[in-house]
A and B are shown apart, each in its own frame.
Chain A
């Protein structure tokens, strides 16, 4: 298992290199530059600014310099957030995104998997249709609709939760002061989780229906095992395989920045830095975030593959 993990991490190095190179050139291919929005600058000032960020050098030279520094862990200075390095920005943004992302995915997995199992066990019954209808709604309503509606209801109308701030305010924080620091995260986490709940519920349902049709489930029932044991011990593990392979990349995506939700709730997470960086052609910032995202995807996929080996003994992880 360990040698497998190490081998996979070694293969990750060229993958990361490829991702960085592609992103670097694509970014520079996009029209515009970091200082185009500053309308009234003297040409000389712009020239000096470009020199300060190495942007006056040939692209290839910029690329080699960037790679050299990145290899030493230096992702360079941010262009739009002055006096701050990309590493500093990531260090402030990543914990925020991690916190809401992990909470959301954890919540989504628990609720979604339960809903999926319930639906699979009541396949084609009325309750199945209700649960799956709710799930479909969750997929169909985009978070940029859901998030403002929730803010309107819980923030503006009911005045329970804070609106677009990390300060604990609103009725809930006053009523239960112990919850204070968590209160601002409630709406973003729910807004992030709802579409995930829906996807996970549908995946789980499909997988469990498939597994419950297997011959070994018939054997388990023929053995007179209670339905609880049939479902939880004989079916669930195989039914979780597709869910696990979805969750890996999903976690990677959600913890490295939920663009829409972070923007709506004004959370200083990776998603907002990424959007700002991309709009303003802040090349080092975008590249830094891309590297973090790519690394997260690689690590999560590695974890998924190792989990596969645990969930299904027929999968040999070592080779």
Chain B
């Protein structure tokens, strides 16, 4: 198989006034060509920081260790010029909040075309033609006029389409979508997810879908990685995650989802407790405090991520006992 991105022992730390914060710890992950992988976890689980760090987009106080190999080249060792050749061209990223992620004082057309100018050296009219093509595939109506408008003249759904179009104009090898549907209402969410589905069917780009919504993952992804407290706790093909989740946290997440076969008046379940404090992660399993099945060992010894089958990994002491 053809590996697009390979993260090796990726660790992300932030220096803050209150001390060091470990956002991501020792993450190993491989993404193959054409694959769609879902990264699931709650806020602060490190899912976004993993990919921001890989692309050199961390906040100024962030530090990245380990390796992030894109087609064999370590992104973390690249200087700004080398990184700029890949970012926006071969690897692209779209962000959650399209309302603040587009430059407010630039017309949409310019923001889209500058990607092609920077990476392909296209003349404006050539760039414009390609932009129109991609905008059309994003099902944005009235494109010509839209290009001359500013971001605030777009609805949230339309802005997110523009963001996706921006990420696709150069036909990247890897598209990282950080909560692309979170800020949108349900109908628009469905439309955006359909765009991703079409994208998956028609291109060979690999897709990383960062989300806290297992429902989004179910319809789109081939493989799922669950993160908790900055570490990967479970990895499995998408069908297996839903059929037989191994980690208690994954099980908890699934129980939190509303189900069609549930009675209407049953309350939604919630995982008790709070996400862990990344400044002082516990010695044992980060999830132990909230885990209903925790045994004594969970509090004293951190479980390692073990290979359960050729396609599945999970980090939980209970899996030893079984």
Binding site for B on A (CB under 8 A): 123, 214-216, 218-227, 229, 233-234, 237-238, 311-314
Contacts and interface: CB of A to CB of B under 8 A. Distances in A.
Interface string B100-126: 111111100000001100110000000
Nearest to B58: A218
Given A215-B97, A218-B95, A233-B103, 18 more contacts: A215-B100, A216-B102, A216-B104, A219-B102, A219-B163, A221-B57, A222-B57, A222-B88, A223-B88, A224-B84, A224-B87, A224-B118, A225-B114, A226-B84, A229-B114, A229-B118, A234-B103, A314-B104
B60 interface: yes
B118 A226 contact: yes
Nearest to B97: A215
B87 A233 contact: no
Contacts of B100: 214-216
A311 B118 CA distance: 24
B59 to A, nearest CB: 8
28 contacts: A214-B100, A215-B95, A215-B101, A216-B102, A218-B52, A218-B57, A219-B102, A219-B163, A221-B56, A222-B55, A222-B93, A223-B88, A223-B92, A223-B166, A224-B84, A224-B85, A224-B86, A224-B89, A224-B115, A224-B118, A227-B80, A229-B114, A233-B106, A234-B103, A311-B105, A313-B150, A313-B152, A314-B104
B46 to A, nearest CB: 17
A216 B114 CA distance: 14
A236 to B, nearest CB: 10
B83 interface: yes
Nearest to A223: B88
Contacts of A314: 104, 150, 152
Contacts of B95: 215, 218-219, 222
Contacts of A214: 100
Nearest to B102: A216
Contacts of B166: 223
A238 B101 CA distance: 14
B158 to A, nearest CB: 16
Contacts of A238: 104-105
Given A215-B97, A229-B118, A313-B152, A221 B103 contact: no
A278 B106 CA distance: 49
Contacts of B97: 215
Contacts of A229: 114, 118
B55 A216 contact: no
A218 B93 CA distance: 10
Contacts of B114: 223, 225, 229, 233
> How many of chain B's residues touch chain A, expressed as a range?
20 to 34
Contact of B92 (A123, A222, A313): A222
A166 to B, nearest CB: 44
A42 B52 CA distance: 87
A312 B105 contact: yes
Given A123-B60, A314-B150, A221 B104 contact: no
Given A224-B119, A225-B118, A314-B150, A218 B101 contact: yes
A237 B106 CA distance: 10
Given A216-B102, A218-B95, A224 B152 contact: no
Q: State the 10 A-B residue pairs at the shortest beta-carbon distance, nearest first.
A: A224-B88, A223-B88, A224-B87, A215-B100, A224-B84, A216-B103, A313-B150, A215-B101, A222-B93, A219-B101
Interface string B223-264: 000000000000000000000000000000000000000000
Contacts of B55: 222
Nearest to A234: B103
A2 to B, nearest CB: 22
A67 B84 CA distance: 66
A15 B310 CA distance: 80
B79 to A, nearest CB: 11
Contacts of A216: 100-104
Contacts of A234: 103, 106
A222 B75 CA distance: 13
Contacts of B81: 226
Contacts of B105: 237-238, 311-313
Contacts of A237: 105
Contacts of A220: 103
A235 to B, nearest CB: 9
Nearest to B80: A227
Contacts of A227: 80
A219 B103 contact: yes
A216 B100 CA distance: 6
Contact of B104 (A123, A222, A223, A312): A312
Contacts of A233: 103, 106, 114
Residue of A123, A216, A227, A233 most packed against chain B (CB within 10 A): A216
A229 B87 CA distance: 15
Nearest to B104: A314
